[in-house]
Amino acid sequence: MFWYNLSKLILKNRKTWLFMVFVTTLFMGFMASKITMSYELARILPKSDENFKIYEDFKQRFGEDGNVMVIAIETDKIYELETFNQWYDLSKKIKSIEGIKNVLSNTNLFGIEKDSVEKKFNFPPLVPKRPTTQAEVDSIKEKINKLPFYRGVIYSKEGHAHLMAVTFDQSRLNSKGRISISREIESVAREFGVKSNIKVHFSGMPFIRTNFISKVSTELIRFLGLAFLVTIGILYIFFRSIRTVLYTSLLVIISVIWSVGYIVLFGYKITILTGLIPPLIIVIGIPNTIFLVNKYQEEFLKHNDKMRALAVSIEKIGKTTFLANVTTFIGFFVFYFTGSPLLLEFGLVAAIAVMSTWAISLILIPIFFSYSAPPSAKNVRHLDNKNLTAFLRYVNKIVHTKRTSLYWFIAILVVVFTFGMSRLKAVGYIVDDLPQNDPIYADLKFIEKHFHGIVPFEVVIDTKKENGVLNPQVLNKIKVMQREFAKYDDFTNPISLVEAIKLVYQGYRGGDPKYFQLPGTFELQKLSEYVGTVKGKENLATPFIDSTKQFTRVSFQCGDNGTVRIRELVETLQPKIDTIFNYDREAKQWLPKEEQINAKITGNGVVFMKGNDYLLQNLIESTLWAIGLICIVMATQFFDARMILISTIPSILPLIITAGVMGYFGIPLKPTTILVFSIAFGISSDGTIYFLTKYKDELKHHNKTVSEAINETIMYTGISMFYTAIILFFGFGIFAVSNFKGTVYLGSLISITLLMGMIANLILLPALLMTLDNSRNKAK
């Protein structure tokens, strides 16, 4: 009765509904015009997570760890006068760019000299001015080579690769201005490359993030266009009606405007996930139109009454598409409960956009057709497509006569793809979404080869006492910890208070490289008389300790070696760090809790690993929640446990096949790929809803047998299900042209899953219904 009354309400108040949709769309369009890109690191971990808290405390105390862009070259000509001066000029140009805090290269390093009279250290620049002779450059090279502090940091250990570290101002790092700054740096660096005939490599977190954001914004526009052209094009091939295509085009444009408006209304920005919502809405929204139009044309052929046909299509299809969209809504909305800001935003906006798109289609499509001429013979010809009819008859034959063979085939598939599932691996990389032929990926590997990497890996140390970090025992423990890290090839040389003291001590002992070491307690006391006079910018300790000297940091960089390797490193090193700082080897016992030093591993790379693990765990739970909630939706229609089980199997089977495909092709489990399962299950369940509601209607209102009802449902609902599956397959397939591997996997896997879902709902579901009916008859 509700759906009957709703059909009357819509058709009797057409102008009012059009006005309401128009005004709302204007408002949403105004909101959508305010959309902005997110320039911050994706927030994955919830604020309550301990690792997130440690990292946030670290950033507040020491600043962002991922604020250095790296320019690297490989050449033996760097200390030739012309090349060195070009490198020198590049450093100066970059330093003059607004938003750049500092530039570090072998053209602006400093040395250290002891002033015994004034009891202080002087830090003369190694390159006081632009050199004019080769002899000056040779002298600079000799001085740099005597300072081990810079080896492995500014130049590679073998001496062939050289690096320029560009530090961004914190205020510009997470703003739109970062893009223009990064582009300007890249431009002047490439000019250097052309002049010197040296290949220039770029990396570092600001550069990678800038390029990711640029690609996301470009792909948003590309996918919107592709999704629109592909789905509308397929729709025209099926219906051969310009009118249907125009109405659907207007519908999807309105739906996209609303979806972008929601992003702004909730205070969100465009991220790699929310950027997928508009094209997803285009693809997901069109099936509503297909079912409404097919039902309208089917009813019109019965009695040639346009308004009656539209009313019936709203009444019958409204309920069916509502339930179908609820399952899709659930597939997205479960992400809201992950606690991850990144997924929460995506799930909430996508879920609401799905339901509003359903409402818009239910209102506008019947109203548009009510003002149009009745469908012509050409318009309804697709309902009698010979090839599609032959296919559906073959499906009907399998369902009625070859169920045993079908079940054996399904069983073999399950065994084969379950084995494939066993080969699945969960691993993620920071630049994992980029193809290996992308210049960013190639440059990252170049820097990993020569400098071990650019992914920040930090140890933050809380001594729990003011001036605690200057305690010789603490410094020695930091030295021991650094030696432990040195056993792993994953890491760069450390940058820390200990390394700074080693450099100062080298200067104290006259600059001899053999004194680049942490001095003993007595020497440290003598050194403190000099260090205490170091002020302002000359204070080497400033980046490594806080104002109270209670906290210090030890900074490493590591390669983008994957979450599995980072997890291994954290799980191996954290216990060793705890032991180094808090275990008394002489007494063979742990120090009292109040005396223990709190030393924790954190940094960009560690938080990425923790976030990846958190997402995997929560997405698996979300998928299970989606299955459970959709089963409840099914239960509202069929109060029979066996029917609920039967309705779930056709949607779960494609997930098994997809997981098996991932295992066989080495596609890893990571956030972008595990999204597939809950989204695909929700959308795949739509087909189950479409089939079962038609089947139930045939049994209840037309007094048909189970066999007759299944035959009728396959032949009529099968047409819309086929159309929908094809549009969804190619609609999600557009993501295969993405520059991000994760998006390629997402689109390709969902396409495969939904196609398998259509086949399962069209063949396996009715076969199970027939088997269930036979078992009931035997039980009688």
Give per-residue pLDDT as tens, 251-294: 989 999 999 999 999 999 888 788 888 888 888 888 888 889 88
Cα 419 to Cα 446: distance, rounded to the nearest angstrom: 37
Tell me which H or E stretch contains 27: helix 14-32
Task: Write down the pLDDT at residue 537.
Answer: 43
Residue-wise pLDDT tens digits, 56-80: 898 888 877 778 889 999 999 999 9
Please tell me the pTM assigned to this model: 0.78
- Provide the pLDDT confidence category of residue 587 given band limits of 50, 70 and 90: confident
Calculate mean pLDDT across residues 447-462. Answer: 89
Q: Which residues contact 589 (CB under 8 A, 6 or more apart)?
A: 583
Which percentage of the chain shows pLDDT scores above 70? Answer: 96
* CB contact burial 30-66 (16+ within 10 A = b; e otherwise): ebbeeeeebbebbbbbeeebebbebbeebbebbebbb
- Provide the pLDDT confidence category of residue 531 given band limits of 50, 70 and 90: low
Calculate mean pLDDT across residues 704-708. Answer: 87
Which percentage of the chain shows pLDDT scores above 90? Answer: 35
Task: Write down the pLDDT at residue 41.
Answer: 65
DSSP per-residue string spanning 441-505: HHHHHHHHHHHS--EEEEEEEE-SSTTGGG-HHHHHHHHHHHHHHHT-TTB---EEHHHHHHHHH
- By the 8 A CB rule, do 753 and 655 touch? yes
Nearest to 311 by CA among 45, 650, 675, 10: 10
Up-side HSE of residue 342: CA atoms within 13 Å toward CB? 21
Nearest to 10 by CA among 358, 323, 324, 314: 314
Residue-wise pLDDT tens digits, 225-243: 888 888 888 888 888 888 8
- Provide the pLDDT confidence category of residue 538 given band limits of 50, 70 and 90: very low
Calculate mean pLDDT across residues 299-304. Answer: 86
Residue-wise pLDDT tens digits, 340-375: 788 889 999 999 999 999 999 999 999 999 998 888
Backbone dihedral region for residue 152 (phi beyond 0: left; psi -120 to 50: alpha; all else: beta): left
Helix 205-239 and helix 242-265: axis angle, to 10°? 150
Q: Which residues contact 218 (CB under 8 A, 6 or more apart)?
A: none
- Here the tokens at position 374 are 């009745």
Up-side HSE of residue 768: CA atoms within 13 Å toward CB? 19
Poorest-confidence range of 2-11, 170-179, 734-743? 170-179
| Extended beta strands in 169-278, E state | 200-203
- Here the tokens at position 277 are 């919502």
- Provide the pLDDT confidence category of residue 384 given band limits of 50, 70 and 90: confident
Residue-wise pLDDT tens digits, 715-748: 888 888 888 888 888 888 888 888 777 778 888 8
Most confidently predicted of 198-202, 287-291, 380-384: 198-202
Cα 12 to Cα 58: distance, rounded to the nearest angstrom: 62
Cα 109 to Cα 738: distance, rounded to the nearest angstrom: 42
Task: Write down the pLDDT at residue 535.
Answer: 44
Calculate mean pLDDT across residues 549-557. Answer: 92
Q: Which residues contact 618 (CB under 8 A, 6 or more apart)?
A: 337, 338, 339, 340, 343
- Give Cα 780 to chain centroid, integer Å: 55
Helix 14-32 and helix 242-265: axis angle, to 10°? 50
Nearest to 596 by CA among 468, 472, 485, 470: 468
User: What does the mean pLDDT of the chain come to?
Assistant: 86
Calculate mean pLDDT across residues 571-587. Answer: 92
- Provide the pLDDT confidence category of residue 42 given band limits of 50, 70 and 90: low
Tell me the sheet residues that pair with 121: 114
**Strand arrangement of the beta sheet that strand 598-602 belongs to:** 495-496, 551-558, 455-462, 598-602
